[in-house]
Amino acid sequence: MPFIAADEPVVHDLHGVRFVSYASPAFGSKELCAWRGEVPAGSRGQVHTISREEVFLVLSGSLRLTIDGDARLLGAGDVAIAPAGSTLGVANPTEEPAGMWVTTSVGLSATLPDGSRISPPWAN
């Protein structure tokens, strides 16, 4: 389906972050996935290694993205590109919630520090 209305995305909650999925195979996308991430104030996501490139656009608030040990505090309008195989961490060190738009290719998986692997449903 080429159009997704504002009330149609699928919502997932994982590691304290809300993932609002807009584009994925479940919506008919063959190659790309896109979602809005809602990151609560004062939160720190689980560090993980990604199997596919991801592009992050900060929509609101501020987020600290760490890609292979290089950390930056990003504000609304800033973008980060995490290459496939990189280790990624996302945190919101502020007192305000933050939002981001993330795009990747279908088939993304993540490996956690304990070696477990997840295939998030919003990217598969």
The pLDDT tens digits of the residues spanning 74-97 come to: 999 999 999 999 999 999 999 999
At 1 the pLDDT is 59
Percentage of the chain exceeding pLDDT 90: 88
Question: What fold is seen in the domain 10-114?
Answer: Jelly Rolls (2.60.120)
At 15 the pLDDT is 85
**pTM value?**
0.94
What confidence category does residue 2 fall into, taking pLDDT thresholds of 50, 70 and 90? confident
Structure tokens at 2: 């080429």
In the chain, the DSSP E strands lie at 10-14, 17-23, 32-39, 43-44, 48-50, 54-60, 62-67, 70-75, 79-82, 87-92, 98-105, 110-111, 117-118
Read off the pLDDT of residues 106-123 as tens digits, 9 standing for 90 and up: 999 999 999 999 999 999
What confidence category does residue 35 fall into, taking pLDDT thresholds of 50, 70 and 90? very high
Q: What is the mean pLDDT of residues 12-16?
A: 90
